[in-house]
Structure 1
């Protein structure tokens, strides 16, 4: 199935729930090579760039900047690793992250299920594969395709696996991406999964944020850093070229171009037998795109509003408008899922069947397809339900799927559209988890409620006596904001419970319940209360919930978060002395803005890989790609609303702030580490007490392997217990 949608690969793409559970982070969209352009002065800025005495900390590898980082790291590690909780926490977190019963995350390629596995022996991971029949066994046999640790040792590089684009239908030839230290920029090499060797004189690219797709066995479409003018302002490919095997990259022919102000140009090749096509797109911003279909050697623009996400599914076309759409004499609501005949649509027909229509409490969290079925994943008051459309007969039929409730369901198809005959064409995977129930992965059959449990995680903490509840807070403008509270046994409503409030609130990313052995051992199991806020800016209730808190309305995310915190105090679940907040990436901006606005409300802040200097975010790395979310600081009228919440411009001397822990990564080429560095330096210059830790590796996830993750998380929990314990 081909997809034209929001440029998740190029932006604040949030992590999967599995990654979230492992990292305790939720992250932002991708950035590119650091932009050194100077931001224009604006008279309305409360702290103009000319007054920024810490600009030198934006020099990622600058000697002076790294010396500053090492000095702060030494102080923070000395303090936090000396805490009585640290050693035990780290030991338990390593055990959880390396647990043998983790459910291997799968990607089907032909007869194989591929997985990247990291543990104490394989810190960077084994890229491995097995069959579905073998995977169903209690202890499947895996075949190693590539040992990342051995490769890194042989080449004296700190390689982190960055993914693989493999050519169907045999999936032998792959375009393998390797990242140094976990950065988004990768080195690309052609790899043979049969010989398990890199292809001599095969396709290869130096380190860059590249877009590469197979056209055929001897041809690829490539977008990369071709030199001056080839990248967008966000640092992603602006130009797509067609590159023939055996020829230098300089001989590749340009076939598609975007504009410098776009987020990126991209290409998708769909090889579904009988419905082959190639699609090019310009991501105009993070939520809008213009798409083109290659027909008879010419590019034909799809006649669609730029906010409509479009998926080809064999002879069908699926569309999701992000705003109300009037066409063909009818209005289709934002967040709906529409179906039409692809050939008829391309000829100008505008007749659509509505497969899903949102309500005030129900939104479409996602969908997946088999050969003849479409599975809807619906968020119902932030709990998952599944429904199914059957297209195996002339008249489609709809039914509800009986599945576990009320936690989080994740669905992934095993259907391979590029295989003419596929025995798994009607099979799909379903994973269920909630805060207190470990993940179970099922093999499901479309058209039936029958499911076979493939893998289940063992409980990582004793959930006896614990409870998970949903409450609602009332925000400043009267909006009801849901949030979840996970409580340890015997919690008393005395305002003294150590409480950690987590949020994200951006880019239409939904915060749904997940099972975390790390939180269970390090927080609930030690008597802490965990709270997950479903604030505006997220996608819990569809596009409208997100669009209510962007640009000039971004403050609503912070108002919602504050309202949840105040409701926790009102209910006597916690109190400011025992209440802490945590967020990463856009969530780092959330907690940064919130503690600056309401320092009286919190006693701990874990601010991870954050955005903080909103006067310069669009000049650093991929920041320009997020202006549809925040606005353009170079425009006086937009800077006027951004400056009111930008943490770096609003933190003040003489105000009593909670002792903040800032964390980031030198190798984060998505959100510039200068944000955290400069905020920490500014606050220290104002006399505020804080902690700062910057991992030299790790990329936007903050860590490159499980050892690093455990160290970082143990320091964070040690800090939280220091600040919030009774």
Structure 2
């Protein structure tokens, strides 16, 4: 499809998200997919097995700590929409904790005749008597926000003075029990071009939303604005943020007299604070105070000293070619730093003192696994923490500890597939520009030396790092069947720090696709697979990756799965939240930027004469982040050109594709049944 043809795009009608004709078109294709892939005993058995794993009580109920309470949102067979509950530490440590159910979402949905999907809760501290609960219809990003009484276990109606927002891309933050910061659709001109909040207001209980006081405004061209209140005793701070694009943000502090103080740090850096300390994580090189600090450096300074113009920083982390900063979080007295060394986790504790900062290992971290720090409560929780560890074949383990003391086993998840003989290896492929790109291979040891069916996954965008995690679905759906699984760490992500991302933005986007293709070739060169036996899967930005593999590198693959994708890069910025991603991809309305986007945009680069591998395209009607029109139009175009394409659209589910465990189990089984038929069952006709 040429760029000129785009101006008369015959499939624009498919962008009408809930129109009768597009939905009928989608349902017709859903029926074809169901008949081809979901009507067999093999599919049914796998779907039920996956659902049993999602619903089992043997999973770890990961909590969110708020002082003495541990909160958890839980779905299982009896509660498909889920329950919000809490318990104490003492109970949580037992094998079968007693949970206090605060809200039953299934009961609420039935009572209100709504398909509510949980979107989170903000508990008012320290009393923990109220919460602001966000609920989504069908899993969309847009939510309603309602105030909930934790003591009475009921919502407080707006008529009774409760805080409540109608459906929009909302946010609400507690200041105190009678005051909140709020961002919503206040009417014409109140949203950014990306569809997010442009105005922040202070809203007092008992007053209408229309009377809320505007305290901060951004520009229509911004991505969004936000604000919050740090209630740390003795260090209370009100702050506002203005995201000028996806990667640049201005931070302001609000003084008691209403004046704003701009935090003069690089706009592409991450700022955070605790007590007297300000931390700045650099995303690009910064020269200040007579020193030059490279990207990915973590700096610390006394907050008041910084505001007064001081720039004498302590360097808490400095990157090297193999090591990047992955995460960092405060306990009451310490900073826990997580790094990635060739995509494998290391943990350290940094402690400020009169003689500077000290550094000690926190705990051992296993190889080929990811270990994360959770449940730090820097205000009320002292120096307690939890560690969650899992690897591709190692189920999750949850440990608890206090800094300076040994960690203790808290919970252990069971295994859900047979790992006997399955091993994890890490390799590196050389991309077109010579960069060595890592990837993990998970396969049965009997496969070594014999090429076999292989599926590789990729994302490559927005500085999102992909690290090892337990592959329960993949294990039972693919590894047990003799398949090989590959997780790639291509550029565009953050596995080697911000520069791993920035070197693949905009005009250099092609490096993402070259990296993925290089790994595909490397898998063949190592004898792990063949092009006919190689599949690939990716979603969202990873769905764009799959579209490029289809149109630019079709000879490398035997099958592709493309989920909730961006594909029409000529119009992506005009659809839903697309304008917020211009800093990642570029602006197609600028000829000089469309020049490089047009080179890879899948919708503009299909060919009726090319030989494409079979592709399954999946999306969600309720996805209000990446427009389902991308997937619909690409499917229609490929069909018109005579290519083998299957299409499935979940009528709900949001950007995650599924609104509950049952839908997620169906979609997971569908993906692997597709790969099984395309890459393993060669006797099945296409």
CA distance in 2, matches of 1:668, 1:644: 27
Q: State the shift of 1:654 in Å.
A: 1.6
Contact 2:181 2:228 (8 Å CA) reproduced = no
**1:330 correspondence with 2:285:** no
CA distance in 2, matches of 1:57, 1:393: 64
CA distance in 2, matches of 1:236, 1:657: 38
For 2:365, which of 394, 404, 407 is the aligned residue?
A: 404
For 2:548, which of 590, 593, 607 is the aligned residue?
A: 593
Question: Corresponding residue for 2:684?
Answer: none
1:651-700 deviations in Å (ceiling 9; x for gaps): 11121111100011001111111100000011001111211000011111
Question: Corresponding residue for 2:443?
Answer: 487
Question: Corresponding residue for 1:255?
Answer: 215
CA distance in 2, matches of 1:85, 1:329: 66
Larger relative contact order, structure 1 or 2 (CA cutoff 8 Å, min sep 6)? 1
Q: How many residues align?
A: 676
**SS of residue in 2 equivalent to 1:104:** coil
For 1:415, which of 372, 377, 382 is the aligned residue?
A: 377
Q: State the shift of 1:416 in Å.
A: 4.1
Question: Corresponding residue for 1:68?
Answer: 25
For 2:564, which of 606, 609, 614 is the aligned residue?
A: 609
Question: Corresponding residue for 1:390?
Answer: 351
Contact 2:566 2:572 (8 Å CA) reproduced = yes
Within-5 A mapping of 1:120-199? 120-199=77-156
**SS of residue in 2 equivalent to 1:284:** strand
For 1:54, which of 11, 19, 23 is the aligned residue?
A: 11
CA distance in 1, matches of 2:449, 2:530: 10
Contact 2:300 2:316 (8 Å CA) reproduced = yes
Q: State the shift of 1:572 in Å.
A: 1.3
Bigger mean CA offset, 479-488 vs 395-404: 395-404
Within-5 A mapping of 1:490-505? 490-495=446-451, 497-505=452-460
Bigger mean CA offset, 198-207 vs 528-537: 198-207
1:613-652 deviations in Å (ceiling 9; x for gaps): 0011111111111111100000000000001010000011
Contact 1:565 1:601 (8 Å CA) reproduced = yes
**SS of residue in 2 equivalent to 1:403:** coil
CA distance in 2, matches of 1:217, 1:618: 39
Q: State the shift of 1:47 in Å.
A: 4.3
Question: Corresponding residue for 1:470?
Answer: 426
Q: 1:84 and 1:568, CA in 2 relative to 1: closer, same or farther beyond 3 A?
A: farther
CA distance in 2, matches of 1:392, 1:129: 36
**SS of residue in 2 equivalent to 1:358:** coil
**1:234 correspondence with 2:191:** no
Structure 1 residue ranges (4+ consecutive) displaced by more than 4 angstroms after TM superposition: none
CA distance in 1, matches of 2:514, 2:221: 31
CA distance in 2, matches of 1:391, 1:134: 34
Q: State the shift of 1:194 in Å.
A: 1.1
**1:714 correspondence with 2:669:** yes
CA distance in 2, matches of 1:379, 1:510: 10
Question: Corresponding residue for 1:559?
Answer: 514
For 1:691, which of 646, 649, 668 is the aligned residue?
A: 646
**SS of residue in 2 equivalent to 1:240:** strand
Q: State the shift of 1:719 in Å.
A: 0.6
CA distance in 2, matches of 1:148, 1:416: 30
Q: 1:408 and 1:47, CA in 2 relative to 1: closer, same or farther beyond 3 A?
A: farther
* Aligned-CA RMSD value: 1.3
CA distance in 2, matches of 1:247, 1:544: 48
In structure 2, runs of 5+ residues without a counterpart are 682-686
**1:701 correspondence with 2:663:** no
Q: State the shift of 1:392 in Å.
A: 5.7
Q: State the shift of 1:324 in Å.
A: 0.6
CA distance in 1, matches of 2:418, 2:525: 29
Q: State the shift of 1:413 in Å.
A: 3.8
1:446-484 deviations in Å (ceiling 9; x for gaps): 134x11111111111121111100001010111100000
CA distance in 2, matches of 1:248, 1:492: 67
CA distance in 2, matches of 1:132, 1:333: 42
CA distance in 2, matches of 1:94, 1:680: 29
Q: State the shift of 1:192 in Å.
A: 0.8
CA distance in 2, matches of 1:394, 1:127: 45
1:487-528 deviations in Å (ceiling 9; x for gaps): 124114333x11000010000001111102111111111101
Q: State the shift of 1:109 in Å.
A: 2.0
Q: State the shift of 1:589 in Å.
A: 0.5
Q: 1:594 and 1:605, CA in 2 relative to 1: closer, same or farther beyond 3 A?
A: same
Question: Corresponding residue for 1:516?
Answer: 471
For 1:636, which of 591, 598, 605 is the aligned residue?
A: 591
Question: Corresponding residue for 1:113?
Answer: 70
CA distance in 2, matches of 1:75, 1:679: 17
**1:312 correspondence with 2:273:** yes
**SS of residue in 2 equivalent to 1:526:** coil
In structure 1, runs of 5+ residues without a counterpart are 1-43
Within-5 A mapping of 1:571-590? 571-590=526-545
Question: Corresponding residue for 2:416?
Answer: 460
Q: State the shift of 1:84 in Å.
A: 4.9
Contact 2:2 2:605 (8 Å CA) reproduced = no
Q: State the shift of 1:170 in Å.
A: 1.2
Contact 2:329 2:376 (8 Å CA) reproduced = no
Question: Corresponding residue for 2:169?
Answer: 209
Bigger mean CA offset, 354-363 vs 306-315: 306-315
Bigger mean CA offset, 296-305 vs 258-267: 296-305
Q: State the shift of 1:155 in Å.
A: 0.3
CA distance in 1, matches of 2:439, 2:40: 31
CA distance in 2, matches of 1:534, 1:459: 25
1:411-433 deviations in Å (ceiling 9; x for gaps): 1243242xxxx4x3101111111
**1:527 correspondence with 2:487:** no
CA distance in 2, matches of 1:381, 1:536: 13
Question: Corresponding residue for 1:22?
Answer: none
CA distance in 2, matches of 1:602, 1:275: 56
Alignment TM-score, normalising by the size of structure 2: 0.97
Alignment TM-score, normalising by the size of structure 1: 0.92
For 1:543, which of 490, 494, 498 is the aligned residue?
A: 498
Contact 2:83 2:101 (8 Å CA) reproduced = yes
**SS of residue in 1 equivalent to 2:245:** coil
1:194-252 deviations in Å (ceiling 9; x for gaps): 11110133010100001211122111111110111000000000001111111111111
Question: Corresponding residue for 1:24?
Answer: none
Bigger mean CA offset, 384-393 vs 632-641: 384-393
For 2:619, which of 664, 670, 688 is the aligned residue?
A: 664
Contact 1:239 1:265 (8 Å CA) reproduced = yes
For 2:227, which of 267, 274, 280 is the aligned residue?
A: 267
Contact 1:45 1:639 (8 Å CA) reproduced = no
Q: 1:463 and 1:393, CA in 2 relative to 1: closer, same or farther beyond 3 A?
A: farther
For 1:291, which of 247, 251, 269 is the aligned residue?
A: 251
